[in-house]
Amino acid sequence: MVDYAILLIALPLFAAFLIPLVAMVNKNWPKYIPILVTAFNSVLSINLLLYLNAHNGTPFIVKIGGFIPPFGINLFIGYLAIILLMLISFVGLMISLYTINTVKDAESRYYMLFILLLMGVTGLVITGDLFNMFVFLEITSISAYSLTAYKRDGLSLEASMKYILIGSLASVFVLIGIGVIYYSTHTLNIADISNHINTVPKYIKMFSLSMLLIGLAIEAELFPVNGWVPDVYQASPTPVTTIFSSIVVKATIYVFFRVLFTVFRADLTVMNFVMGLGVITLLIGEISALKQVNIKRMLAYSSIGQVGLIVIAISSYSSMGVAGGIYQMINHAIFKGILFLGTAYMITSVSGTGKISDLKGIAQKMPISSFIVSFSIIALLGVPPLTGFWAKMMILSSVMSSGHQIIVALILFATVVEAVYYLKFIAVIYDSSEITNSFKSTIKFNKIVPIVLFALTIILFSVVPQFLVKFQDVLLKAANELTNVSSYISIVLGS
């Protein structure tokens, strides 16, 4: 059986608390532990994928401690979970590689929190229990708060403070929601709740739904409650920002929709509301990014916009739309991985405060990273036949077929806005007029490698049609796992 799937969570947890001990032996060892852990998790998730493929792609559950659902905590693993797991471990691996010698005097604490963050996200993606989900959410948040404040300068403390303030409100809302739903169904297992949700009085159900929606919307960076996002992204160390943008928000979006689709069996009114949130998030994010001078802040607003796009896609509720949303999640994780890491790599080699203008003409000194960054920008904008285009096609066609022509127009409009600021950025880095900044030309192998690997992933997704066709099937299956409630229940509870 696949009970070893629990190692996905257990091993990182163990490794995280092992780090202080390892640090006592040798100061240099802790920085390699995240690489080992993420590599192990990558192998494990590939193994799970093979297992799943061998079993007709039917999702399976892992019972923890042998308790039969709905009594114990169970893990639910299907294609969607594995896609997200692979994303987490792959991006985590890349970022761990990049992190070596990046964060100034990174101590063992840093790596511990880093692994804890990854563990929390991993747990979020595979857990089948609502309260367990809350716990993972809190683990993620608390390690995120501390990692944000890690640099301990004014900006990072300020960002961390705002994050804690809003994040605590989020956890309060989630907790109230879970309490109410527990009170009315007397269970915490997602499948079991879903089984009983229709017996809950409408007001209680809607109250609990709105509480969870608000709490998770904060974590999933939706518009009116995402004030903390740009600050946190700007102030935290770049590897952490990359994790936030590439992984954490994807997992929280997954949880957001798992709760709406599966727990509450949300109907069209809810989905329209969520789609509206997505549209506003997209527009505000992209428009706010237009005049940013700080690179990380610009990328942060762009992330917000992309989150909006993903939310629009998934809330269209058609299998094609959800598949497109998942596809866009993968794409965005890779693109933002390249953008954050690549630009950070560029910034470290110039003197400056992370302003876009500091990078003027850097392409002459760092041609490879500049080229890859521009390439990923072009892919992000959805220029065919690169991978961003296919995801956008799926999203647009499904949104259009759900009858929202205006929203399609708005998405396209937002993409135009996105193109403006991203291309301006390309224009700056390829500017050849005169270079004012001094470059410290040091090629660091561990920084180039992750960026190049990410770029290869884009090419794999873009130009290998056979792969794409198979991949689309997987995406559709994954979408089905998210939207098909009855199969979820029957898999967890049996028959």
User: Residues 466 to 495: which contact another protein by CB under 8 A?
Assistant: 469
Of 86 and 322, nearer to another protein (C-beta) is: 322
Distance CA 378, CA 418 (A): 11
Instruction: Choose the stretch contacting another protein; rule: CB under 8 A; options: 39-47, 85-93, 94-102, 134-142.
Output: 134-142
Interface residue with another protein among 11, 13, 178, 458 (CB under 8 A) is 178
Whether 481 contacts 403, CB under 8 Å: no
Instruction: Choose the stretch contacting another protein; rule: CB under 8 A; options: 33-41, 138-146, 193-201, 330-338.
Output: 138-146
Applying CB under 8 A, does 149 fall inside the site for another protein? yes
Residue 49: count other Cβ atoms within 10 Å of its Cβ.
Answer: 18
Of 160 and 242, nearer to another protein (C-beta) is: 160
Instruction: Choose the stretch contacting another protein; rule: CB under 8 A; options: 9-17, 218-226, 309-317, 441-449.
Output: 218-226
Q: Residue 252 Cβ, how far from another protein at the closest point, in Å?
A: 16
Backbone angles phi, psi at 353, to 5 degrees: -110, 25
* 410-429 residues near another protein, rule: CB under 8 A: 412-413, 415-417, 419-420, 423-424, 427
Distance CA 409, CA 416 (A): 11
DSSP code at position 389: H
Interface residue with another protein among 284, 312, 478, 485 (CB under 8 A) is 284
Instruction: Choose the stretch contacting another protein; rule: CB under 8 A; options: 83-91, 225-233, 245-253, 435-443.
Output: 225-233
* 343-402 residues near another protein, rule: CB under 8 A: 378, 383-385, 389, 393, 396-397, 400-401
Interface residue with another protein among 210, 348, 437, 446 (CB under 8 A) is 210
Distance CA 19, CA 31 (A): 9
- In 3-state terms the chain splits into helix, strand, coil percentages (rounded to 5) of 80, 5, 20
Whether 447 contacts 101, CB under 8 Å: no
Of 125 and 417, nearer to another protein (C-beta) is: 417
Q: Where are the beta strands (DSSP E) in 1-123?
A: 60-63, 74-77
- Among candidates 259, 122, 120, 255, which has minimal Cα distance to 180? 259
- Among candidates 199, 220, 258, which has minimal Cα distance to 80? 258
Applying CB under 8 A, does 142 fall inside the site for another protein? yes
Of 209 and 491, nearer to another protein (C-beta) is: 209
Instruction: Tell me which H or E stretch contains 296.
Output: helix 295-315
Distance CA 277, CA 308 (A): 7
Of 74 and 234, nearer to another protein (C-beta) is: 234
* 38-67 residues near another protein, rule: CB under 8 A: none
Site size for another protein (CB under 8 A): 92
Interface residue with another protein among 46, 100, 135, 368 (CB under 8 A) is 135
Whether 301 contacts 267, CB under 8 Å: no
Applying CB under 8 A, does 158 fall inside the site for another protein? yes
Residue 207: count other Cβ atoms within 10 Å of its Cβ.
Answer: 16
Instruction: Choose the stretch contacting another protein; rule: CB under 8 A; options: 53-61, 84-92, 221-229, 328-336.
Output: 221-229
Instruction: Choose the stretch contacting another protein; rule: CB under 8 A; options: 31-39, 231-239, 250-258, 442-450.
Output: 231-239
Interface residue with another protein among 77, 93, 125, 213 (CB under 8 A) is 213
* 286-315 residues near another protein, rule: CB under 8 A: 287-288, 290-292, 297, 301
Instruction: Choose the stretch contacting another protein; rule: CB under 8 A; options: 28-36, 76-84, 137-145, 445-453.
Output: 137-145
Of 214 and 329, nearer to another protein (C-beta) is: 214
Structure tokens at 374: 């521009």
Applying CB under 8 A, does 457 fall inside the site for another protein? no
| Per-residue binding letters, 434-453, with another protein (x by CB under 8 A) | --------------------
As a whole number of Å, the end-to-end CA separation of the chain is: 20
Looking from the CA of 268 toward its CB, the CA atoms found within 13 Å total 3
Q: Name residue 400's amino acid.
A: M
Of 213 and 314, nearer to another protein (C-beta) is: 213
Our measurement of the distance from residue 95's CA atom to the centroid of its chain's CA atoms, rounded to an integer in Å, reads: 14
Helices (H), 186-294: 190-196, 202-219, 228-235, 238-243, 249-257, 268-289
Structure tokens at 274: 């969520």
Distance CA 418, CA 403 (A): 24
Applying CB under 8 A, does 133 fall inside the site for another protein? no
Interface residue with another protein among 29, 40, 430, 439 (CB under 8 A) is 430
